[in-house]
Chain A
Amino acid sequence: MKSCLIADDSPVVRLMIRRLLEAAGYHVREVPDGAQALAACQKDMPDVILLDWRMPVMNGLEFLIRLRRLPGGGGPCVIFCSVESDPGMIGRALASGANEYVMKPFDREILAGKLSLVGAV
């Protein structure tokens, strides 16, 4: 079974993403910030990471940069899910190693489409 880590400080967003991914057959873990996401990855590297940008303790971009430096950290497919919609910031996320980017708010169709684009479903 493929695994996914959702890093988002909003329980509502985590629940929406969890439902979609569980329906697609993923084993899902959730964390509310980047530091806990990093710890979760060090323990068990997921196949896919859905990542918020603005989170307490460690933001999504800092997490992503640290993740990609970890042994095996190049493996997970990372999709940013953020309210940031500035093209410069989206470009920065992609240049830092994100595979895709979803702007909030989004619906199930958008998220499913992005997962399909990166070959995660």
Chain B
Amino acid sequence: MTPGKLEIVARLCLMRTGRRLDTSVPERAAARLGIVARREGYGSVDDLLLALRTSEAERLAWPVVEGLTAFERGFMEDPKVLKQVARRILPHLAGIKGDNPVRIWCAAAGSGQDPYSLAILAQEAAARMGGGFQVEIYASDLSVKGIERARTGIFSHFEIQKGLSARQMIDHFQPVEGGWQASSSLRDMIRWRRVNLFSDTPGSMRFDLVVCRGILPQMAAHVRPTAVVNLALSLAEDGFLVLGRWEGEGEADLAPALLPLPGLDGIYTRNPAFRTLEV
């Protein structure tokens, strides 16, 4: 793939999602575009890129962007951060929410491992606490196809073994054709919707916990502050934002809206000063 062609699709990704395409391995972008080309009925990546310059451009732009920016995480990635969520944040939220559900937004759900991991942690936390607290998880991603797939809760033989313990696997998933499927109780906890963190403004719903891992570092420097503010505005007054470990370190972008929670890695609260500004 020539640098010029790579530049065209990188610019498209930046314009639509605010994300910088990793152009260091052109072969990876070419392989992903090859999949999109086949799916859209083109004989080659070159044919697909040519069509992007025709009246087909608008129809093809999102499939191309989704194909290039799709990412996959394992289950329970960054276990130290998740342990803090399970042992400190969820019990705290359960205590202050009482009979109301704890609302969680998983803002970059990818292929689904992150929201299902959160659902498992919530069920395990509820079991440790003797039950009695409700959790609603709202999972979003840029990719419609990714959401459609993640909603099924089916993971391949290889995917299911990355990050989960064997005990978690057999307690929360059942073997089905094509892999392992999340239990209906896990699937029922999660609601799915498409959200573009770059362009979609926060809705009216406020969340007790927002989990957004792996996306901010991919965003271009000039759009990251907007994404951070949108995440902060989505938090309930006493809500928490979870970023990937080290994702917020040294980030001046976070400062106006968020404050790191002392003693916890990767977990932030809304800056009270920012709250005043919002009013």
Contact = CB atoms under 8 A, between A and B. Distances in A.
Interface of A: 85-87, 90-91, 93-94, 98, 100-103, 105-107, 109-110, 113-114, 117
A80 to B, nearest CB: 8
Nearest to A98: B166
Contacts of B157: 85, 103, 105
Contacts of B169: 87, 90
Contacts of B162: 109-110, 113
A94 B167 contact: yes
A100 B174 CA distance: 18
B170 A103 contact: no
B175 interface: yes
Categorize the interface residue count of chain B. 10 to 19
Nearest to A90: B170
B217 interface: no
23 contacts: A85-B175, A86-B175, A87-B175, A90-B166, A90-B169, A90-B170, A91-B170, A93-B166, A94-B170, A98-B166, A100-B165, A101-B166, A102-B161, A103-B157, A103-B161, A105-B157, A109-B162, A110-B158, A110-B162, A113-B74, A113-B161, A113-B163, A114-B161
B191 to A, nearest CB: 27
Given A103-B157, A114-B161, 10 more contacts: A90-B166, A91-B170, A93-B166, A94-B166, A98-B166, A105-B157, A106-B161, A109-B162, A113-B163, A117-B165
A100 B163 contact: no
A117 B83 CA distance: 13
A114 B142 CA distance: 31
A52 to B, nearest CB: 15
Give the most central of B74, B157, B165, B166: most A CB within 10 Å.
Answer: B166
A100 to B, nearest CB: 6
A90 B158 CA distance: 16
Nearest to B166: A101
Nearest to B163: A113
Contacts of A98: 166
